C-alpha cells in the first residue's frame, strides 16, 4: 500500500500494515484490561521475580504467544498452497520464503524450547525436593535473554526485514552477497542472544539436579522428567556452543567481509556441518523432555510405577549420545561418499532401538493398569501412535540411497511435524494440563481439554498425513505454488482443511485457559492422586516449599506414603538450604541492553555499539557490587 505525505510517497506492504494495526490495537486493549483489573503490581512481581515457578510461567506464556504467531504463519502457508497457481494476497516468492523461515525458526527456538524449559522450571525443582533452582538470579537472566532474542526475530517482520533463508540458514544463500537485507542479521543476533540464555538455563538445571535433590533421593530414585531434563541439559551444553560458533562465523561473513562459507578457501558445506552438529542434537533437546513428561503422566494415570525404569534412563542416555553421531543424515545428498553415508545411515537406524524400548515400556506401564482418561493422559495416548509414525518415516529417511528421492520433499515436512508436534507439542500440552494446578492452584476444564485434544489431534493427522503422499508424488518443500498437472492438489487441499481444525483446537485451549480463570476449580495439593514430591506441596507452589524436608526412599515417595503411612512423608533430619531468592530489575535490564547492542550491529551504528556495549558490561559490574549473600548475612546479624 502506498501513502502520500507532503508530496512524498511511502510504501508499506499490506501484511505488515495489518500486523502493525493488530499489534497496536491488541496492545492498547491489553493495557486497558491490565489497568482496569489493577494488575500492574502482579506484572511487576513477575518481571522482577527470580522464583522458578513464576519464571516457568513466563516461559510458557511467551511460548504460547509465539505459537500463535508462528501458527498464523502456518495457516498462511497452507492457504497459499491450498490450490494450484494461487496468487492470494502477497505470499508468493520472497514473502513465502520469509513465511516458512520465520515459522520454522520461531517454532523451534521460541515455541518448542520455552515450552519445555518452562515446564522444567515449574516442575523439576519440586519433583526432586529442591527449594528453587540453584541459581535463581541466573534463571531470570536466562529467561530475559531468551525473550530478547525472540523479540529480535519477531521484530524483523515489523522492520520489513524478515529472515528468508530457511530455519537452517544455509550458506551461501544466508551470506550478504545473496541476502544483503537485514533479515538474516536478525536471525543471527536473535538466536545468538537467546542461545546464551539457553546455555545458562542448562547449567542451572544440571547444578540444581546434581546438588539440590532431597535427602535420600539418589539419582536412581529420581522421576523420569528430571532425568530427561538432566540429559537434555548436557546436550544443550555441548550442542549450543556449536551454534554459537556457527553464528559468529556467519556474522563475520555477513558483516566484516570474511569468507568462511564462500570463496577460495571457504565452503558452504562448513555451515551445513556446523549447523547440523548442533541441529540434530537440538531435535533431541526438544524431544527428550517430552519423553520424560509422558513417562511421569502415563505412570500417574495408570496407577502403576513406570515399567522398566532403569531401561528408560539408559535409553534416554543412549539416545542423547547417539544424537551427536548422526548429523550427516541431513547431508546425504551433498556427496560425501558412500562410506560416510553408510556410517551415518547405520548410526541413525540404531536410534530406533532405544526409542522402541521406550515405546514398549510406556505400553507395559499401562498394561493391567487402572487407566484414567484425563486430558493429560489423552495427550500422552495421542502421542504414542503419532510418534511411532514419525519414527518409522525417520528410519525410511535414514536409508541413504532412498533419501536421494525423499530429500527436500514434503515427505520430510510430514516426518518432522509428526515428531515435533506428535512429540514436543503434545508433550507440552500434556504437561501444561498436568502441572497447571501447581502453577495457579486451579485445574483446566476437562471438557474443554477434550475438545482441545480431539480437534488438535484429528486436525493434525488430516494436515500432515497427506504431506507424505504429496512428497512421494514429487512435491518439493519450500515452494510457493505448484501446477494442476503436478497431481498434488488434493493432498494440499485436505492438508489446508486440517490446519484450520488444528487452529480451532488451539482456540479451544486458549478459551479453556480463560474459562478456567473465570470460573476457577480450586484444587488441593494433589488433584491427580500423584506419586512424586511435587504433589506433596501446596498449589500453587509456595516460595519456600518442603518444610519439613522429606526423606526419599523410593522412586514414587508420595505414593508409597499414601499407601503405607497415611500420606505423611518421612522427614529428613537436616534440610537442604534454600537458595536466596531476590527480586531484581537487573536481568530484564541486561537483556534489554543486549537487544539494543544487537540492533546497533544489525544497523551498523558504531556509536550505539560502543554505548550499548558499555551498557551491557556495566550490568556485570553492578551485579558484582550487589551480592545478596552479603545482604542476607547482614540482615541476619541485625535480627
Contacting residues toward Cu ion, per CB under 5 A: 280
Q: How many CA atoms are closer than 13 Å to the CA of 1, on its beta-carbon side?
A: 8
Interstrand relation of 2-5 and 8-11 (parallel, antiparallel or unpaired): antiparallel
- Residue 460 grid coordinates: 493434525
Q: Which residue's C-alpha cell is 525410511?
A: 396
Site string for ligand HEM, 487-506 (x = CB under 6 A): ------------x--x----
Nearest approach, Cβ of residue 550 and Cu ion (Å): 41
In the list ligand HEM, Cu ion, none, the entry touching 193 (Cβ below 5 to 8 angstroms by class) is none
Identify which of residues 196 and 421 has a Cβ nearer to ligand HEM in the complex.
421
Nearest approach, Cβ of residue 416 and ligand HEM (Å): 6
Distance CA 303, CA 519 (A): 29
Identify which of residues 213 and 280 has a Cβ nearer to Cu ion in the complex.
280
Q: How many residues does the chain have?
A: 639
* Helix or strand run (H / E) with residue 26: helix 14-36
* Helix or strand run (H / E) with residue 8: strand 8-11
Distance CA 415, CA 344 (A): 18
Among 71, 195, 281, 530, binds ligand HEM (CB under 6 A): 71
- Residue 601 grid coordinates: 550491529
Identify which of residues 400 and 470 has a Cβ nearer to ligand HEM in the complex.
470
CA angle 352, 358, 360 (to 5 degrees): 100
Distance CA 97, CA 478 (A): 7
422 and 429 in contact (C-beta within 8 Å)? no
Nearest approach, Cβ of residue 316 and Cu ion (Å): 17
Identify which of residues 280 and 443 has a Cβ nearer to Cu ion in the complex.
280
Identify which of residues 362 and 411 has a Cβ nearer to ligand HEM in the complex.
411
Among 57, 58, 60, 77, binds ligand HEM (CB under 6 A): 77
- Residue 185 grid coordinates: 542479521
33's CB contacts (< 8 A; 6+ apart) are none
Distance CA 236, CA 229 (A): 10
Distance CA 100, CA 87 (A): 17
Nearest approach, Cβ of residue 146 and Cu ion (Å): 23
Nearest approach, Cβ of residue 543 and Cu ion (Å): 41
Cα pseudo-dihedral 26, 30, 36, 38, rounded to 10: -170
Instruction: Select from 461, 495, 462 the least CA-distant residue to 477.
Output: 495
Nearest approach, Cβ of residue 195 and ligand HEM (Å): 17
Residue 162 exposed, middle or buried by CB count within 10 Å (0-12, 13-18, 19+) = buried
Among 55, 60, 63, 74, binds ligand HEM (CB under 6 A): 74
Nearest approach, Cβ of residue 162 and ligand HEM (Å): 12
Among 377, 421, 488, 588, binds ligand HEM (CB under 6 A): 421
In the list Cu ion, ligand HEM, none, the entry touching 413 (Cβ below 5 to 8 angstroms by class) is ligand HEM
Identify which of residues 239 and 602 has a Cβ nearer to Cu ion in the complex.
239
- Residue 217 grid coordinates: 533421593
In the list Cu ion, ligand HEM, none, the entry touching 150 (Cβ below 5 to 8 angstroms by class) is none
Buried b (16+ CB within 10 A) or exposed e, 41-65: eeeeeebbbbbbbbbbbbbbebbbe
In the list Cu ion, ligand HEM, none, the entry touching 502 (Cβ below 5 to 8 angstroms by class) is ligand HEM
In the list Cu ion, ligand HEM, none, the entry touching 112 (Cβ below 5 to 8 angstroms by class) is ligand HEM
488 and 475 in contact (C-beta within 8 Å)? yes
571 phi/psi in degrees, rounded to 5:
-100, 145
Identify which of residues 289 and 527 has a Cβ nearer to ligand HEM in the complex.
289
Identify which of residues 412 and 494 has a Cβ nearer to Cu ion in the complex.
412
Distance CA 137, CA 585 (A): 10
Residues 132-171 that bind ligand HEM (CB under 6 A): 166-168
* Helix or strand run (H / E) with residue 349: helix 338-350
Among 424, 512, 532, 598, binds ligand HEM (CB under 6 A): 424
CA angle 620, 621, 622 (to 5 degrees): 95
Residues 439-468 that bind ligand HEM (CB under 6 A): 463
In the list Cu ion, ligand HEM, none, the entry touching 147 (Cβ below 5 to 8 angstroms by class) is none
Nearest approach, Cβ of residue 582 and Cu ion (Å): 41
Nearest approach, Cβ of residue 330 and Cu ion (Å): 5
Beta carbons within 10 angstroms of residue 377's beta carbon: 23
Query: Using CB atoms, what's the residue nearest to ligand HEM?
Result: 104
Among 39, 478, 568, 631, binds ligand HEM (CB under 6 A): 478
In the list Cu ion, ligand HEM, none, the entry touching 425 (Cβ below 5 to 8 angstroms by class) is ligand HEM
Nearest approach, Cβ of residue 115 and ligand HEM (Å): 9
In the list Cu ion, ligand HEM, none, the entry touching 280 (Cβ below 5 to 8 angstroms by class) is Cu ion
Q: Binding segment for ligand HEM among 35-43, 74-82, 211-219, 261-269 (CB under 6 A)? A: 74-82
Q: Longest Cα pair distance anywhere in the chain, in angstroms?
A: 84
Residue 418 makes contact with ligand HEM by CB under 6 A? no
Distance CA 218, CA 210 (A): 10
Site string for ligand HEM, 88-127 (x = CB under 6 A): ------------xx-xx--xx--xx---------------
The answer to whether the peptide bond before residue 129 is cis (omega within 30 degrees of 0) is no
Q: Binding segment for ligand HEM among 73-81, 327-335, 533-541, 560-568 (CB under 6 A)? A: 73-81
Give first-to-last CA distance, the chain, whole Å. 67
Q: Which residues would be at the binding site for ligand HEM (CB under 6 A)?
A: 71, 74, 77-78, 100-101, 103-104, 107-108, 111-112, 166-168, 413, 417, 420-421, 424-425, 463, 477-478, 499, 502
Amino acid at each position: 500500500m502506498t501513502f502520500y505525505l507532503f508530496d512524498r510517497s511511502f510504501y508499506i506492504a499490506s501484511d505488515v500494515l495489518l500486523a502493525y494495526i493488530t499489534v497496536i490495537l491488541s496492545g492498547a486493549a491489553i493495557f486497558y484490561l491490565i489497568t482496569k483489573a489493577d494488575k500492574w503490581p502482579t506484572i511487576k512481581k513477575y518481571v522482577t521475580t527470580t522464583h522458578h515457578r513464576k519464571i516457568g510461567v513466563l516461559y510458557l506464556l511467551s511460548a504460547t504467544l509465539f505459537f500463535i504467531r508462528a501458527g498464523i504463519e502456518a495457516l498462511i502457508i497452507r492457504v497459499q498452497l491450498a490450490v494450484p497457481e494461487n496468487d492470494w494476497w502477497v505470499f508468493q516468492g520472497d514473502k513465502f520464503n520469509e513465511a516458512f523461515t520465520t515459522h520454522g525458526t520461531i517454532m523451534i527456538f521460541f515455541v518448542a524450547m520455552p515450552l519445555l524449559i518452562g515446564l522444567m522450571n515449574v516442575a523439576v525443582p519440586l519433583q526432586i525436593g529442591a527449594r528453587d533452582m540453584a541459581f535463581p538470579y541466573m534463571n531470570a537472566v536466562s529467561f530475559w535473554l531468551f525473550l530478547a532474542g525472540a523479540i529480535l526475530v519477531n521484530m524483523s517482520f515489523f522492520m520489513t526485514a524478515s529472515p528468508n533463508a530457511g530455519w537452517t540458514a544455509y550458506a551461501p544463500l544466508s551470506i550478504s552477497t545473496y541476502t544483503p537485507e537485514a533479515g538474516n542479521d536478525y536471525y543471527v543476533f536473535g538466536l545468538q542472544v537467546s542461545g546464551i540464555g539457553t546455555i545458562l538455563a542448562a547449567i542451572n538445571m544440571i547444578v540444581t539436579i546434581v546438588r539440590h535433590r532431597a535427602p535420600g533421593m539418589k539419582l536412581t530414585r529420581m522421576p523420569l522428567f528430571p532425568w530427561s531434563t538432566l540429559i537434555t541439559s548436557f546436550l544443550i551444553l555441548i550442542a549450543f556452543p556449536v551454534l554459537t560458533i556457527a553464528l559468529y562465523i556467519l556474522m563475520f561473513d555477513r558483516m566484516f567481509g570474511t569468507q568462511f562459507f564462500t570463496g577460495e578457501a571457504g565452503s558452504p558445506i562448513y555451515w551445513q556441518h556446523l549447523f547440523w552438529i548442533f541441529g540434530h542434537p537440538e531435535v533431541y533437546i526438544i524431544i527428550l523432555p517430552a519423553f520424560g513428561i509422558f513417562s511421569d503422566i502415563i505412570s500417574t494415570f495408570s496407577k502403576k510405577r513406570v515399567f522398566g525404569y532403569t531401561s528408560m534412563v539408559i535409553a534416554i542416555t543412549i539416545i542423547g549420545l547417539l544424537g551427536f553421531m548422526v548429523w550427516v543424515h541431513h547431508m546425504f545428498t551433498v556427496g560425501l561418499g558412500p562410506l560416510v553415508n553408510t556410517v551415518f545411515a547405520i548410526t541413525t537406524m540404531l536410534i530406533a532401538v532405544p526409542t522402541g524400548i521406550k515405546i514398549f515400556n510406556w505400553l507395559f506401564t499401562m498394561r493391567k493398569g487402572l487407566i484414567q482418561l484425563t486430558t493429560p493422559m489423552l495427550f500422552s495416548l495421542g502421542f504414542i501412535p503419532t510418534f511411532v509414525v514419525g519414527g518409522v518415516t525417520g528410519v525410511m529417511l535414514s536409508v541413504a540411497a532412498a533419501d536421494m528421492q525423499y530429500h527436500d520433499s514434503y515427505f520430510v515436512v510430514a516426518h518432522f511435524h509428526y515428531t515435533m508436534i506428535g512429540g514436543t507439542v503434545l508433550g507440552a500440552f500434556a504437561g501444561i494440563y498436568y502441572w497447571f494446578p501447581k502453577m495457579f492452584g486451579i485445574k483446566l476444564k476437562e471438557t474443554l481439554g477434550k475438545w482441545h485434544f480431539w480437534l488438535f489431534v484429528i486436525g493434525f493427522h488430516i494436515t500432515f498425513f497427506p504431506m507424505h503422499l504429496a512428497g512421494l508424488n514429487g512435491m518439493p518443500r519450500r515452494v510457493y505454488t505448484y501446477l494442476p498437472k503436478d497431481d498434488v492438489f488434493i493432498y494440499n487441499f485436505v492438508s489446508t482443511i486440517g490446519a484450520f481444525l488444528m487452529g480451532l483446537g488451539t482456540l479451544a485451549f486458549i478459551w479453556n485457559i480463560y474459562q478456567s480463570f473465570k470460573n476457577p476449580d480450586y484444587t488441593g495439593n494433589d488433584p491427580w492422586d500423584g506419586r512424586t514430591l511435587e504433589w506433596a506441596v501446596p498449589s500453587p507452589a509456595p516460595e519456600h516449599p518442603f518444610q519439613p524436608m522429606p526423606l526419599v526412599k523410593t522412586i514414587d515417595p508420595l505414593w508409597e506414603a499414601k499407601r503405607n503411612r497415611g500420606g505423611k512423608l518421612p522427614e529428613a533430619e537436616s534440610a537442604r538450604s534454600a537458595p536466596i531468592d531476590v527480586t531484581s530489575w537487573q536481568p530484564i535490564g541486561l537483556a534489554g541492553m543486549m537487544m539494543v547492542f544487537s540492533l546497533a550491529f544489525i544497523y551498523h551504528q558504531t556509536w550505539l555499539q560502543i554505548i550499548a556495549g558499555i551498557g551491557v558490561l556495566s550490568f556485570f559490574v553492578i551485579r558484582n557490587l550487589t551480592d545478596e549473600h552479603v545482604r542476607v548475612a547482614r540482615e541476619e546479624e541485625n535480627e
